[in-house]
Amino acid sequence: MKKMLKENDFENVVWDFLFTYRQLLLNGNLHKKVDSEAYQKNPATWNTVLLSLETGVVLGLAKLLEENYFGREFNSPELNQISIKITNMRNSLIAHNDLSIMRNRKPFIEENQLTGTDIIKMIDAIKNRAIQYQKAFGAKIEVQKLFEETTRNAMTDLDNWLKSFGIPL
């Protein structure tokens, strides 16, 4: 059962969701630069940033699923499995150190591996539910438009940020 949200609460949850989406965009586009001179000069820093963004995406999605704002069950077995994997990764490796899993991490990670495609499918599913809620709430924000703006702004901001280092990419 989904939590009932007030309009302001809905907007706050959407802004939080957009932050998670922006982390996904930044992570994906930074991964495309790992063959660059900038990466080669600072791999430890880049890897820290990339892992932090990946962790942020999983935590952001887990929070949405955990709080059950948009529902955690889907009409698709694939989405339900992705939801379980997100929750498992969050609970056992990211937010908590489950020592039994930490000792034997490889099978757990293989069983709960999330691909970029998995994450995009989950984001799309939650975004579609947010659009439905927006209409039901008569909210002042337009979820689809905000996602389009976030995509555009994140890419422009990332390009400007990377250029500021003055290292060829």
169 within a domain of the structure (yes/no): no
Average of per-residue pLDDT values in the chain: 89
pLDDT digits (tens, 9 = 90+) for 23-64: 999 999 999 989 988 888 889 999 999 999 999 999 999 999
pLDDT at site 4: 60
| Structural domain includes residue 55 | yes
Predicted structure pTM score: 0.89
pLDDT at 38: 84
Spatial CB neighbours of 98, under 8 Å, sequence gap ≥ 6: 91, 92
User: With contact defined as beta carbons under 8 Å apart, do 98 and 38 qualify?
Assistant: no
Residue 120 lies in a domain: yes
Report yes or no on 137 lying in a domain.
yes
pLDDT for 137 equals 80
Residue 77 lies in a domain: yes
Q: Give the pLDDT score at 3.
A: 55
33-60 burial by CB neighbour count: b if 16+ within 10 A, else e? eeeeebbeeeeeebeeebeebbbbbbbb
Q: Is residue 88 part of a domain?
A: yes
| Cβ-Cβ contacts under 8 Å for 114 (sequence gap 6 or more) | 58, 82, 85, 86, 89
Expressed as residue numbers, the domain containing 71 is 7-163
134 located within any domain: yes
Question: Using one digit for the tens of pLDDT, what is the confidence trace for 131-164?
Answer: 998 988 888 899 999 999 999 999 999 989 888 8
Domain annotation covers residue 168: no
Report how many domains make up the chain: 1
Q: Does residue 46 contact residue 34 with C-beta atoms inside 8 Å? A: yes
